[in-house]
Amino acid sequence: MSSIVYPPDYHTHTELCHHASGMPVDYAEFAELKGLEEIACTDHAPAPWKYDPEHRMVSPQFVRYRDGVLKAQATGKCRVLYGIEADYYDGCEPYLARWLPEQSFDLVLGSVHTGDFWKFDARREYPDPFIKNLWRVYFTQLQKLVRTGLYDVIAHFDLPKRSGIGITDAILREIVIPTLDAVAQAGMGIEINTSGLHHPAGETYPSPQILSWACERSIPITFGSDAHSPDRVGNDFETAMQLAREAGYTHSARYRQRQRTLEPF
Ligand code: ZN
Ligand code: FE
Ligand code: FE
Ligand code: ZN
């Protein structure tokens, strides 16, 4: 048993999304083995109109997800919160505004997964204006996500770096800082997502630089592995806690029924 007290892992998936393995009970079991006291199940939300069906459960499966979380909560392993990762995309708002309040989620992660940055090849050279445009498009979507007021925490904040394509400091400031200001004004949190350490990007989402800008704006943070298999729950949390401290954080956010409190980590 480790003596470290870990913050909760607030970003995990299940086999229902077709690109992950395990059900909530399996995540709870591994979380307990690793000494985590709390996790949230945050699988990809079902979406109507066939938005990205390869990466999410269909609506009729949602009851299996809810029951899976209830079952994990009943094991008494670690505390298991009922969450969801809900995509923002153009046109999603009327549906989510109706659907999210009908559920009894503890927290709702907001993500933007769309953009041409998925197709980047880190071995190639791209002109700065091209990269800048991709970042601008992504962060414009992220700002729209923030303005909906439908989400609690922004997932993988600087996802366009995923394939390892760098961006200049000037562009970073110009595009990211207004988004952080919007996040702060909306009272939302952001997560430190450790999955980026294993992507070509080779660093957490967001980067240490963005994390310190977030801390300057008193934006609350959560920790998330974005585990797509149960054994990866809580992955690299020592690294993430260290980065959070270096950025100036001493507390992380906890959620219950979408109400936030802050706890030292
Ligand atoms: Zn996923
Ligand atoms: Fe995501
Ligand atoms: Fe995720
Ligand atoms: Zn994710």
Domain spans of the chain?
Answer: 85-264
DSSP, res 17: G
> How far, in Å, from the CA of 212 to the mean position of ligand 2?
22
> How far, in Å, from the CA of 170 to the mean position of ligand 1?
31
How much is the pTM?
A: 0.96
Q: Give the model confidence (pLDDT) of 152-168 as tens digits.
A: 999 999 999 999 888 88
The bound ligand whose nearest atom lies closest to the alpha carbon of 11 is 3
SS3 147: helix
Q: Give the model confidence (pLDDT) of 76-111 as tens digits.
A: 889 999 999 999 999 999 999 999 999 999 999 999
**What is the structure's pLDDT at 2?**
53
The bound ligand whose nearest atom lies closest to the alpha carbon of 112 is 2
> How far, in Å, from the CA of 137 to the mean position of ligand 3?
20
> How far, in Å, from the CA of 12 to the mean position of ligand 2?
10
The bound ligand whose nearest atom lies closest to the alpha carbon of 56 is 1
> How far, in Å, from the CA of 9 to the mean position of ligand 4?
13
Two structure tokens written together for 226:
């974005």
d(CA 265, CA 251) in angstroms, rounded, equals 6
d(CA 209, CA 226) in angstroms, rounded, equals 21
Q: For the chain, what percent of residues have pLDDT higher than 90?
A: 86
Q: Give the model confidence (pLDDT) of 118-135 as tens digits.
A: 888 877 888 888 889 999
The bound ligand whose nearest atom lies closest to the alpha carbon of 16 is 1
> How far, in Å, from the CA of 94 to the mean position of ligand 4?
22
SS3 172: helix
57: left (phi over 0), alpha (psi -120 to 50) or beta: beta
> How far, in Å, from the CA of 4 to the mean position of ligand 3?
25
Two structure tokens written together for 231:
């054994």
d(CA 58, CA 16) in angstroms, rounded, equals 9
CATH superfamily of 85-264: Metal-dependent hydrolases (3.20.20.140)
N-terminal to C-terminal alpha carbon distance within the chain: 18
Q: How confident is the model at residue 1 (pLDDT cuts 50, 70, 90)?
A: very low
Burial class (CB in 10 A: 0-12, 13-18, 19+), 76: exposed
Q: How confident is the model at residue 227 (pLDDT cuts 50, 70, 90)?
A: very high
**What is the structure's pLDDT at 55?**
92
**What is the structure's pLDDT at 75?**
94
d(CA 215, CA 217) in angstroms, rounded, equals 5
Q: Give the model confidence (pLDDT) of 186-204 as tens digits.
A: 999 999 999 999 999 999 9
